[in-house]
Structure 1
Amino acid sequence: MGHQDSAGSATTSRSRGRWRAFHDKFVVEERYMDPADRRGLYRAAIILVVTGVALFIATLVSVLQADGLSAADVPVRDWLLGIRSDAGTAFMIFLAVVFGPIALPIIVLVVILWWGFAAKHAWRPILLASAMVTGVIISQIILRIVQRSRPPVEQMLFGIDHTFSFPSGHVLGACDFLLVGAFLVFSRHSNTKAAVLGFVGAGIGIVLAAVSRLYLGYHWLSDALASLSLSLVILGGVIALDTWRTARVPGERITGELSKADSPRD
């Protein structure tokens, strides 16, 4: 009888331990920072949102009126048509596949799942997933409202696409994944040089994703600008939400048990 009681207690203990580990995953990681640093994050969030909204409105108006920023669409397309080569086309197709609707979601899913299981808290992976889903929803709504035609199909080098082009879903997905991912990773580190390099790398990735879509003949330059502007808004929203939920200054209460254990004591 004693053996059975012990076995039952062990099973119950393991069950509670697994439940506790699952519960702790969703304890939001709160952190202490200087008040000036927190104000700086809120300021950056506001600047990103305002800049993104202004750039998107300017791009949308120029597309609807066929002037302004969209005036560069045809010259940029013609220039890219003139520099096409076999090697360049192969590289751009590779980029289109990496940032495409099949490979990129798989990459994002793998990163989120790995990060979610590896990290003590799942707050940041959940934020990244939410940002990606938000971008998809917003782009699909705008695509159906604006209904902008793509460049001529005879200029497309990787199959025919008759869907709408404004904004570019490929570019928006790349922007959200790279920019939001860079912020969520480097916002927890004090190494400024690493953060700068991280965002420079994100910028290079975004440029490559945008150029590949233009080079292959699927989008106009203004489509890519609209995607970048929307991503700036999403990034600003993520920074504001993450700061509001996790950033604490000395004297404020830490509510997460694991976070409290990890935070410096005054």
Structure 2
Amino acid sequence: MSRIAYSKILRFLEARLTPGGALGLHLTAGVALLLAAVSVFAEIAEDVGEQDTIWHIDHAVSRWFYEHAFEPLTSFMLGLTHLHSTIGVSCMGVALAIWFWRKQAPYWLLALVISLPGGMLMNVLLKHAYQRQRPVFDEPLLTLATYSFPSGHTAGATLFYGLLASYIVVVSSSWRVRLWAMCGAALMVGLVALSRIYLGVHFLSDTLAAIAGSAAWLAVCITSVSSLRRRRAAREDQ
């Protein structure tokens, strides 16, 4: 390899790992997250389609939760899952949009407008593409007629809490606040996913695929909006 080619590669890598710039570290991190999430989703979807190991785990986990359901946990899970329905997540999204508007954060508002409705629509399209039937029990706790894979409630929670945590991580200067934001988002997404499995309307793989797919879409939205903001800022500085 010539010195000129080697120098070009070094400059390219340096630009991709630089925190500033329209195509810097944020783009590299976004693309890395996107590729990782897509790979995880594809692997889960393939295993489900071929009824591989995860297919057997799915049924074992669903059966275990069905046999060990009890009050008041069932009521709590029902309340949690209804709170994160399409209507519930949409209302929380509107509230967050108003917050961004009042905080004069137009780029975060744009990211929210793109990511939440777009991600939920993508989830519906994936459901119809895979057409997986939901778990079946003799006396189900909750019955739904739509398809199972991937979980819409989990997808909505991932999009909403993921975006909210990303905003807090960016604007906060305290590492403790950032850590709490990430842990809180992970906890809420995990609880919503657990509620869907507990109530017998989704398999474990449905929720994992929803998290992976939504994380991929969120990475695209946040990275794109961030690149747009940086490009405009660079033009204004010229």
Asked which structure has the greater RCO (Cα within 8 Å, sep 6+), the reply is: 1
Following superposition, the deviation at residue 120 of structure 1 comes to 2.1
Provide structure 2 residue ranges, at least 5 long, that are not aligned to the other structure.
1-16
- TM-superposition CA deviations, 1:118-170 (whole Å, max 9, x none): 12242212211210011112111111111100011545313x21110111100
Other structure's SS at 2:18 match: helix
CA distance in 2, matches of 1:165, 1:150: 5
2:113 to 125, 129, 141: 129
Segments of 4+ in structure 1 off by > 4 A? none
CA distance in 2, matches of 1:109, 1:204: 22
CA distance in 1, matches of 2:50, 2:172: 45
The question of 1:142 aligning with 2:126 is answered: yes
- TM-superposition CA deviations, 1:204-234 (whole Å, max 9, x none): 0000000000000100011001101111201
| Aligned counterpart, 1:207 | 190
- TM-superposition CA deviations, 1:54-105 (whole Å, max 9, x none): 1111111111111133331011112212321111101101111111122221
CA distance in 2, matches of 1:128, 1:164: 26
State whether residues 168 and 223 of structure 1, in contact with CA within 8 Å, keep that contact through their aligned partners in structure 2.
yes
Other structure's SS at 2:69 match: coil
| Aligned counterpart, 1:80 | 65
Structure 2 letter corresponding to 1:245? L
Provide structure 1 residue ranges, at least 5 long, that are not aligned to the other structure.
1-34, 261-266
Other structure's SS at 2:201 match: coil
State whether residues 34 and 216 of structure 2, in contact with CA within 8 Å, keep that contact through their aligned partners in structure 1.
yes
- Structure 1 length as normaliser, TM-score? 0.76
| Aligned counterpart, 1:161 | 144
How many residues align structurally? 217
The question of 1:239 aligning with 2:235 is answered: no
Other structure's SS at 1:55 match: helix
1:45-84 to structure 2, matched below 5 A, reads: 45-84=30-69
CA distance in 2, matches of 1:234, 1:246: 18
CA distance in 1, matches of 2:107, 2:88: 24
The question of 1:97 aligning with 2:91 is answered: no
- Could you say which structure has the larger radius of gyration? 1
CA distance in 1, matches of 2:218, 2:89: 18
